[in-house]
Structures are given as structure tokens and as C-alpha cells.
Structure 1
Amino acid sequence: MSKQLRPMLKVEKWLKRAFLPGMRTFRPSAVAIVITSPGGSAAQSELIHQRVRSLAQQTGTTVYTFAEDVAASGGYWLMCAGDEMYSTATSLVGSIGVITAGFGLHRVLEKYEIERRVFTAGKYKDQLDPFRQVKPGEVERVQELLSDLHESFQEVVRSTRGNKLDTSNEDDLWSGRIWTGRQAAKLGLIDSVGTVESVCKQKFGEKTVFVQCGEPPRAGLLDAFGARAPLSFGQMGWSQGSAYQAATGAAQGFLDEVEYRSMMARYGL
């Protein structure tokens, strides 16, 4: 998720293009949304989820959501925008929970005899300031916020999955655990195991045509060294990009790889 542009604003144009292609002679049979995300802002997840459902209702279009590598936490919240939800057998799905984290650095200031001066208007404005000790009651207030966000998340899952959920051990569902795609299917967190291509061709036939609505693949680190030819998406289809695209995409490709590895490390993989 981009730090420079809020996720909702970033995906809005692609959602409109998917649901409202702007051509009278063409209407999609369905919209398939492929998700790889370890999570993010609860508010942005909610906004995108609501926007997908709004466009689906407005156009009468069925939505299928698919998890690739990871659809956890906010990523799973997005999956719940689908009328039907799928993942690969080895995808990581779930993590229905809320987290916040920080550091306690007040001892560092004490060690180096640094005096920090903070001025506020509002009793709780400096809540959980990392440069001072935790005040009495702060943990409880933060926990109240997290619990309320957690309840909102659970409500979305319950309203989406309904009686499909295996509630024999309901506390485990809301514990923040992640599951593989196969495990998630058994728990009712997804409908079944499948890929976007296999599911859509099964539903709409082998001649199903997929129209991509999203960011085109960027050139990666290997492209800068000529390991593979970069691609760009034009009006006539896929074509080779320029060496300039490879060079400018190399840094972003490296950052994407770092982000991906960090995401996997988060779940001990």
C-alpha cells in the first residue's frame, strides 16, 4: 500500500474501470479481484470494501475475490468484499485481529541526560509517547480502541460468511491466527481452493476472456542487468519496454522484494 497515496484513492480508478468499462457493447460477466496483502489501515480496508460492494450493487455484478501469497488482516477484510472467496492451497489467509506497536525509549533519554519538552492541549494528546513511561490507564484506553476495531472486523466477516463459518471454536477464528488456503476452506473463511483462471473458466467456460484492470507489471531489479525484457501494457497488448524503464524500475523492484520478504518473515516463513 502506497505511503504517498492513500490506498482508496489509488484503486478507485481501477475499480471504476472494472465495474464501469464505459463501453455500451461490453459489460463484464463478473469482476475478479486478486489480493496479495498482509494488511494495513483498518479504515482504508473498510473504505475499499464498501466501494467494491457499492459498485457491485450499482451494476449488478458478481464479485469473486482471490488470495495469492497472503490475504491477512486488512487483506482478508478486502477479500470479504467478494460474493465468493477463493485462495490457492498454500496461500496464507485470515489474521482476523488488530495490532498496534511502538517502542519505549525513555531510558535512552535518561542515559544521555536529554530533556524532552512536549506541550499539549488535551489530556490524552500525548498518549503512549515513546519517550516517556506509560501512564496509568493508557494501556486500557488503547485496548478499548483495538477491541472496537476488532469487533468491526468480526462484523464484516460474519455478515459476509454467515452460516458458512465453522463456529465450533469461534474464539480461534477471531484470535488473529492465519491459516493456509486448505485450512481456511475447512473453517468457512473462504468458499474453496482455486485460482482466478480455474474458477472463472469453470463458471464461464474455457473461452473466458480476462480484461486486466490494475497497475501493469513494473520492471524489476533483474531487468536493469538484462536478465529479462521489461514489459509494458499498451492499447495493442503486451510489448517490450525500453532500457530506461528497466533502469527506473530497478530500485522499485528491489523495494518490492524487500517488502515481500518482510511480509513472509512476519509469518515466520
Structure 2
Amino acid sequence: PTDYTQMATEKVATDGAARTPGWERATLEKLAFAALNEQKSSRRWKTFIRLAWLAFFVFLLWAVMNRGSVSTDKSTAHTAVVDIKGEIAAGGETSADAVVAALRSAFEDDGAKAVVLLCNSPGGSPVQAGIMNDEIYRLKAKYKKPVYAVVEESCASAAYYTVVAADKIFVDKASIVGSIGVLMDGFGFTGLMDKLGIERRLLVAGANKGFLDPFSPQSDAQRAYAQTMLDQIHQQFIAVVKKGRGTRLKETPETFSGLFWTGQQAVDMGLADQLGSLDYVARDVVKAKDIVDYTERANVAERLARRFGASIGEGAVRALEAIPQVH
């Protein structure tokens, strides 16, 4: 650091004989300007360091999010891959919009000899699954390309609903497959409220508008209505599985009970065809060992913006909670 006192002393010693009125003020101004310049330089250096760290973390985040990606060279014959990963839900990375867009790109590419659905999902929305299942059948009929499903960790519930449209399903012997059922869950707090002396004051227009409200009692009629809905969706699920598996399915009383099984059990039951990995399918089944990932992925900026937007949206929702709503 600069020793401003020493500078001032040397200046006074040098110019002592030539002092003029106001020399003290001039000296102080020089000291002030020198200190100001050093502060500016220090701020610039700190800003540079912060920007450098920010750039490093952005690069690190990009590297983590994009590690393990497969080849993207579409110039030669290849096996196209589309991920069915995580929860299947509208607005998510495994929504019908995102997956269908990826499927269309894969089918339209002349270099793609087959399309593989790489599944690592516990399930999710039956609506999103139904849209994807229908689109797989449509694209297969239009482009005459085979579709294979490869299950790694899990393919349960809505995920199985989606990939059962594939021509063949390959699994690992320890994969989790099945859960062909439908659920609607929630909580009821009426007993606890009675013990605590809490009264629920819910005003509705429409006798069933408060249906499934956890703080209100549920009538037998409402429970029966919900069960009817679940049964209808379950029958839709069963029909999709039977259509996709055909005579390969070895149906038992437990097949559509909501149970899930290992990959080896799924093969034995006809829910899957054989054991095999993505590399095996590309190399030995499709005969195109080069793998191209067509999955639509949000980049780092989009993911950060989505999370930032979600935080803002949460604050807005809280602010609007007290406003009466009409659905």
C-alpha cells in the first residue's frame, strides 16, 4: 500500500523553500486524488476476480449438465435415442411436448435407422404418457422405422404406458418394470381438527366444489365417484398394455394390480422381451453402433431462468392466495 504520509513529507522537504499560500490544500488534494485512484484500481481488480469466478462456475455447471452425452454426429447411419427420464409431467423435461418434438426429429432424419426410447422414469401423468404413446404409433406407421425401448433403472407406471408402444422392450435383469395401476393420494385432517377444536369454514357454490378438500369430510358418494374415475383410467392403461404387448403378454391376476417386478421377471411375464443395454441394441439389433441423442435439453441459461421464474411465480401465488377464485 502507498504511504501517503511519507509522500507528503518528501514533498514538503523538497518544496519547502518555494511554499506559496494554500500549499496545504494542494497537498491534501493530491493525496485525496491518489487515494481515489487506488480505490478505483482496487475495485476494478475485485470486479475482474468476481467475473472470473462467475465464468468458472458457469463453465463448471455447463460441464456437469452435459457430461455423459452421446454422439451428435448425424452424417452417417446411426441409432437415434430419446430419453424418457424422471417424472413425466407437463412443462417438465419429460413432457409430451418435449419428447414428441424429439421423436419427430429422430424419425424425420434419414440417417436414423431406428429410434430407441431410453427409459429411466418412475412414471407420472397418464395424460402426457397417452399423448406420447399415440405419437409413437403414428410416427412408426408414417416412417416405417422400428422403435425399441431400453430400460435402465426403472420403467414404471406412466413410463411403461409410454414405451409399451415400442416394437421390443429391452431391460436389465435388475431394472424395475411395471406398476400398471392408477392412484390418487392425499390426506384427511378432520379427526385431528376435531381434537384440536378447529372448525373448517369453506364456502362453495356447487355441492362438490370442495371435493377432496383435506380439511373437510369425504362422503361415500364422493369416494365412489373418485374410484370410478380411477377405474376408467386403469382400464385405459390396461388396453394400451394389451395392444402393445399382444400375444407376448402372459397375463396373471397380478399383472394389472399395480405391482412392479425386476427386469428378469418382466421378461418372464411378457412385459419385456429380453435383456439388453443401449449399446447392445445399437450394435447388435439396429446394426448402427453410432448413437445420436435427439433428446431436447434445456441449456444452462434456460434452466436458471426457469428456476428464477419459478421463485417469482411462487411469490406471486402467495400474494394472490387471499383472493377468491372461480375455477
Normalising by the smaller structure, the TM-score range is 0.7 to 0.9
Superposed CA deviations along residues 95-126 of structure 1, whole A, max 9, x for unmatched, are 11111110012234444544433233333222
Give the Cα–Cα distance (whole angstroms) in 1 for the partners of residues 145 and 203 of structure 2: 52
Q: Which has the larger radius of gyration?
A: 2
TM-aligned CA distance change 1:4 to 1:75, over 3 Å: closer
2:269 match:
187
1:52 aligns to 2:140 (yes or no): no
| 1:42 alignment partner, one of 126, 134, 151 | 126
Does 2:164 match 1:83? no
Per mean C-alpha deviation after superposition, the further-off stretch among 12-21 and 76-85 is 12-21
2:106 corresponds in structure 1 to 18
Matching residue of 1:214: 295
Q: Given the alignment, which residue of 91, 96, 99 partners 1:5?
A: 91
TM-score under structure 1 length normalisation: 0.73
Q: CA deviation at 1:3?
A: 6.1
Larger fraction in helix:
2
Question: In 1, distance between residues paired with 2:234 and 2:286?
Answer: 37
> CA offsets per residue over residues 20-61 of structure 1, 9 Å max, x none?
23xxxx331110010111111111111111112212212111
**Aligned partners of 1:138 and 1:204: how far apart in 2?**
51
SS at match of 1:15: helix
Deviation track 1:171-220 (CA, whole Å, cap 9, x = no partner) reads: 11011111111000000001111112102211233x5221111145x9xx
Instruction: Report the more deviating stretch, 53-62 or 178-187.
Output: 53-62
Query: Which residue does 2:254 correspond to in 1?
Result: 172
Q: Do the aligned partners of 1:67 and 1:79 also contact (CA within 8 Å) in 2? A: no
Could you list the per-position Cα deviations for residues 132-168 of structure 1 after superposition, in whole angstroms to 9, with x for gaps in the alignment? 122122221111111111111100011111111113x
Q: How far did residue 4 of structure 1 move? A: 7.0
TM-score (norm 2): 0.61
Q: Name the aligned partner's letter for residue 214 of structure 1.
A: T
Q: Distance in 2 between matches of 1:38 and 1:2?
A: 8
2:218: which partner in 1?
134
SS in 2 for 1:133: coil
Q: Any conservation in 1 of the 2:120–2:154 contact (CA below 8 Å)? A: yes
**Structure 1 position 16, deviation (Å):** 1.9
**Structure of higher RCO (CA pairs closer than 8 Å, 6+ residues apart):** 2
Unpaired runs of 5+ residues, structure 2, are 1-86, 308-327
Aligned-pair identity in percent equals 31
1:29 equivalent to 2:119? Answer no
Larger deviation, residues 99-108 vs 111-120: 111-120
Q: Helix, strand or coil: the match of 1:38?
A: strand
User: Is contact 2:99–2:296 with CA below 8 Å preserved after alignment?
Assistant: no
User: Given that residues 88 and 129 in structure 2 are in contact (C-alpha distance below 8 angstroms), is that contact kept between their aligned partners in structure 1?
Assistant: no
Q: Secondary structure at the match of 2:293?
A: coil
Q: What runs of 5+ residues in structure 1 fail to find an aligned partner? A: 219-231, 233-243, 252-269
Residue matched to 2:62: none
- SS of the counterpart of 1:183? helix
For the aligned residues, what is the CA RMSD? 2.5
Count how many residue pairs are aligned between Structure 1 and Structure 2.
217
The amino acid that maps onto 1:201 is R
Correspondence list, 1:114-133, <5 A? 114-133=198-217
